[in-house]
């Protein structure tokens, strides 16, 4: 199962916590967005591997952008 | 003499009515991936429960000997039916004839849908596809309605204060049906097949010079994100499923209580994750939907309006089997701040709960009204004040859980009169969040400090203590300060306590839902 991690809201990537190819467990924090001075963490939806990493720290992203895939 | 001839003709007419716009028109409808109105009704209702009204309505044509040549049924199908064993009124335009644009009898039947739902005090489900009036010439034009007729939309408005109304946009919906669609307690559109339009692309191109497709003008991407409809569903069948779910929380009318189901989730269930879910770092957002899932009866949360006003989460759920309205903040969107859209969504939600006497449970993480130029341009303070005053005038029981932030005027919308107020240790409350307030109130002191950043943090920490829920608990400014894991048990006990209050509320409310 591969799941796209999609941005729920526009904002800036504050911290990126995983690398392409990294193994993650469900609930692991993948990255933290800064939105309206709040930190919005994104977690792995299930166990898997980080694929197609599209973001870097400081990137300004739009709602609906795909940050990565968990495959 | 027998009436056999006439009953024979009657049967011929009934057969013709079931054929709708004819084989070709039905095939065309299917080719576009859409169901006919009769198929929609069959999909929605319990098997064999359709009790149609007005089967004989339509236009008949005769030969010179007075024999029936053709019968064209009225293009609105209407009747009584049952959904999950409960009686409802269902209806919708038949797009296979005149594109759903009403014939004389079709129009009358559409108005009767509301009239009969009011008369019988039954929920009304409308499945819309079609446009309003057409400039085309009808076969048998009738004179315009008399000047003393009641306003056309009076019954539409009356239903909103009397019986649950759920509507679905199934294909292109414009004009009158579009106005009816949104004049509902719950509306949903099929992403694959529906568009909602005041006027279609041809009219828009001619009048405005905008060249857009139906989908670009009024598809789900537009209308599930601006509050025109509450929800989007993948297709027609999924839209009808949502309507059934919505109705399962609703009473049949305002004179009856909502159906309490046999709960299968223990009242004393305590989820450990609730203890850790609110981060100590006040800047860190958390997922309020996980709190909702942990607190209410498992799997019972039905979210409405997820696509707009997204800092406010609204929906229906059950607490120990009792249908309730659920309102949470989503700190992941605009920090959970109340926008003009969020306030509009909140007002409608409270009106829905007040109309059908559903207790409201609020999970609060409200930083206040959205600030900034965009927010000022959207008249947020007016929409926000409307939400605050709506809350103040409700009569339904409220339980307000201070999960985290509760600030400013906007927080007042989250507490109805005599609310049962419980707070988590993570609760913070006051006129405004410390981060903004400290800078404004102590600016000179901060700027003149040797290390302004350190001074600011020191002041923030000092003031954050004052926003703690402990002094509020000491002053009996809240009912209880609780371990977050106790939220469900405490709310289940509260639901039990308010049961005797609910029958006293029955009947029309002081205000009903307005679109």
Q: How many domains does chain B have?
A: 3
- Note the pLDDT of residue B124: 98
My answer on whether B322 and B416 are in the same domain is: yes
Let me know if residue B508 belongs to a domain. no
Q: What is the mean pLDDT of residues B420-436?
A: 87
Q: Mean per-residue pLDDT for B409-421?
A: 96
The token pair at B414 is 């989250």
CB contact under 8 A, A38 and B310: no
**Domain's final residue, options B210, B231, B248:** B248
Helix axes B487-498, B288-295, angle to 10 degrees: 60
B126 pLDDT above the threshold of 90:
yes
Of B285, B310, B435, the CB nearest to A40: B285
Q: Based on the domain organization, do B195 and B343 belong to the same domain?
A: no
H helix runs in B121-219, sequence order? 154-160, 176-182, 201-208, 214-218
Angle at A13 between CA A51 and CA B287, to 5 degrees: 85
Q: What is the pLDDT of residue B58?
A: 93
The H or E element containing residue B70 is strand B68-73
The ipTM of this complex is 0.74
B214 and B192 in a single domain? The answer is: yes
* B285 touches A at CB < 8 Å: yes
- Both B222 and B165 in a single domain? yes
Domain stops at, among B189, B215, B248 = B248
Closest chain A CA to residue B307: A8
Rounded CA gap, B164 and B247, in Å? 8
- Please, what is the average pLDDT of chain B? 93
Burial (0-12, 13-18, 19+ Cβ within 10 Å), B15: exposed
* Residue B259 lies inside a defined structural domain of this protein: no
CA-to-CA separations, B82 to B45, B105, B496, in angstroms, rounded? 6, 24, 30
Provide the pLDDT confidence category of residue B95 given band limits of 50, 70 and 90: very high
**Do residue B119 and residue B179 come from a single domain?**
yes
Residues B289 and B171 in one domain: no
Kindly state the DSSP code that residue B333 receives in the 8-state scheme.
T
**What is the tens place of the pLDDT at every residue in B317-333?**
999 999 999 999 999 98
pLDDT tens-digit readout, B197-220: 999 999 999 999 999 999 999 999
Mean pLDDT of B421-446: 84
Asked if B337's CB is within 8 angstroms of A9's CB, the reply is: no
**Are A35 and B337 a contacting pair at CB < 8 A?**
no
A63 part of contact set with chain B, CB < 8 Å? no
Q: Please tell me whether residues B218 and B282 are part of one structural domain.
A: no
pLDDT bracket for residue B476 (50, 70, 90): very high
Rounded to two decimals, what is the model's pTM? 0.92
For residues B236 and B322, membership in a common domain is answered with no
**Cβ atoms of residues B256 and B163 within 8 Å:** no
> Which residue in chain B is spatially nearest to A9 when comparing CA positions?
B333
Start-to-end Cα distance in chain A: 6
Q: Contact B284/A8, CB-based, under 8 Å?
A: no
For B326, the domain range is 273-427+468-499
pLDDT at B296 over 90: yes
Residue B289 makes CB contacts below 8 A (sequence gap 6+) with B301, B313, B328, B330
Q: Max Cα separation, chain B?
A: 111
Range B126-142 average pLDDT? 74
- Hey, which residues does B79 pair with through a beta bridge? B52, B90
Question: Considering the domain boundaries, does residue B215 fall inside one?
Answer: yes
- Give the HSE-up count for residue B312: Cα atoms under 13 Å, Cβ half-sphere: 34
Mean pLDDT on B137-145: 68
Residue B513 in any domain: the answer is no
Probe site for chain A from B221, B280, B285, B407 (most A CB atoms < 10 A): B285
Residue A67 distance to chain B (closest CA, Å)? 16
Q: If you ran DSSP here, which 8-state letter would residue A3 be given? A: E
Please, are residues B165 and B126 in contact by the beta-carbon 8 Å criterion? yes
User: Do residues B296 and B225 share a domain?
Assistant: no
Is residue B327 in a domain?
yes
Q: In this structure, what CATH number is given to the domain that contains residue B35?
A: 3.90.226.10
Long-range Cβ pairs for the range A17-24 (8 Å, 24+): A18/A50, A18/A53, A18/A68, A19/A50, A19/A53, A20/A50, A20/A51, A20/A52, A20/A53, A20/A68, A21/A49, A21/A50, A21/A51, A22/A49, A22/A50, A23/A47, A23/A48, A23/A49, A24/A48, A24/A49, A24/A50, A24/A70
B263 lies in a domain?
no
Does B456 have pLDDT greater than 90? Answer: no
**What value does the mean pLDDT take over residues B443-467?**
85
State which of B248, B281, B298 marks the end of a domain: B248
Residues B394 and B440 in one domain: no
Neighbour tally for B436: CB within 10 Å: 15
B4 touches chain A (CB under 8 A): no
Tell me if B515 is assigned to some domain: no
pLDDT digits (tens, 9 = 90+) for B216-267: 999 999 999 999 999 999 999 999 999 999 999 999 999 999 999 998 899 9
**Same domain flag for B459 and B396:** no
Q: Please check whether residue B333 touches A, CB under 8 A.
A: yes
Mean pLDDT, range B70-89, rounded to an integer: 96
* Whole-number Å distance between alpha carbons of B363 and B491: 11
The whole-number average pLDDT for the span B415-428 is 97
Asked if B153 and B301 sit in the same domain, the reply is no
Q: Give the mean pLDDT of A26-49.
A: 90
The sheet carrying A29-35 orders its strands as A38-43, A29-35, A11-16, A60-61
- The answer to whether residue B258 sits within a structural domain is no
Treating both helix axes as pointing N-terminal to C-terminal, what angle do B434-441 and B452-466 enclose, rounded to 10 degrees? 120
Q: Sketch out chain A's domains with CATH numbers.
A: 3-70 (2.40.50.100)
């Amino acid at each position: 199962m591969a799941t796209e991690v999609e941005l729920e809201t526009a904002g800036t990537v504050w911290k990126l916590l995983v690398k392409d190819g990294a193994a993650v467990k469900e609930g692991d924090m993948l990255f933290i967005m800064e939105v309206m001075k709040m930190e919005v963490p994104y977690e792995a939806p299930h166990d898997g591997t980080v694929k197609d990493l599209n973001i870097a720290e400081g990137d300004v992203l739009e709602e609906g952008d795909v940050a990565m895939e968990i495959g | 003499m027998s009436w056999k001839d006439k009953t024979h003709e009657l049967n011929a007419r009934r057969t013709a009515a079931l054929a709708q716009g004819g084989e070709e028109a039905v095939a065309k409808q299917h080719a576009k991936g859409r169901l006919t109105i009769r198929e929609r009704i069959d999909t929605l209702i319990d098997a064999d429960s359709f009790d149609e009204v007005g089967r004989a309505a339509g236009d008949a044509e005769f030969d010179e000997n007075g024999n029936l040549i053709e019968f064209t049924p009225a293009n609105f199908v209407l009747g009584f039916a049952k959904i999950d064993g409960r009686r409802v009124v269902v209806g919708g335009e038949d797009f296979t004839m005149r594109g759903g644009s009403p014939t004389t009898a079709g129009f009358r039947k559409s108005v009767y849908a509301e009239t009969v739902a009011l008369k019988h005090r039954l929920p009304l489900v409308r499945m819309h596809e079609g446009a309003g009036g057409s400039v085309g010439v009808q076969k048998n034009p009738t004179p315009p309605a008399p000047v003393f007729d009641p306003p056309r939309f009076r019954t539409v408005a009356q239903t909103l204060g009397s019986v649950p109304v759920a509507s679905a946009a199934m294909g292109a919906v414009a004009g009158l049906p579009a106005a009816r669609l949104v004049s509902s307690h719950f509306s949903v559109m099929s992403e694959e097949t529906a568009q909602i339009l005041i006027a279609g692309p041809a009219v828009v191109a001619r009048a405005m010079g905008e060249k857009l497709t139906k989908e670009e003008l009024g598809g789900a991407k537009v209308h599930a994100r601006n509050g025109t409809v509450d929800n989007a569903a993948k297709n027609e069948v999924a839209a009808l499923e949502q309507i059934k779910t919505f109705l399962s929380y609703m009473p049949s009318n305002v004179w009856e209580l909502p159906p309490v189901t046999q709960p299968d989730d223990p009242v004393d269930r305590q989820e450990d994750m609730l203890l850790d879910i609110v981060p100590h770092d006040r800047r860190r957002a958390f997922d309020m939907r996980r709190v909702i899932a942990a607190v209410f009866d498992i799997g019972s949360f039905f979210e409405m309006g997820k696509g707009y006003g997204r800092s406010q989460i609204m929906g229906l759920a059950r607490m120990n089997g009792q249908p309730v309205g659920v309102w949470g903040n989503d700190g992941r969107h605009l920090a959970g701040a109340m926008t003009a859209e969020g306030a509009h969504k909140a007002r409608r939600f409270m009106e829905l709960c007040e109309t059908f006497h559903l207790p409201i449970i609020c999970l609060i993480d409200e930083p206040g009204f959205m600030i900034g130029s965009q927010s000022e341009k959207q008249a947020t303070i007016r929409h926000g004040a409307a939400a605050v005053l709506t809350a103040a005038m409700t009569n339904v029981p409220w339980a307000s859980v201070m999960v985290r932030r509760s600030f400013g005027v906007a927080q007042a919308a989250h507490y109805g009169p005599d609310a049962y107020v419980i707070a988590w240790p993570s609760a913070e409350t006051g006129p405004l969040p410390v981060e903004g307030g400290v800078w404004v109130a102590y600016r000179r002191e901060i700027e003149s400090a040797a290390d302004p950043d350190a001074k600011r943090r020191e002041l923030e920490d000092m003031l954050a203590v004052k926003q703690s829920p402990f002094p509020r608990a000491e002053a009996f400014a809240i009912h209880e300060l609780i371990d977050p894991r106790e939220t469900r048990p405490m709310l289940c006990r509260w639901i039990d306590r308010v049961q005797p209050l609910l029958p006293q509320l029955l009947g029309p409310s002081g205000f009903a839902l307005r679109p």
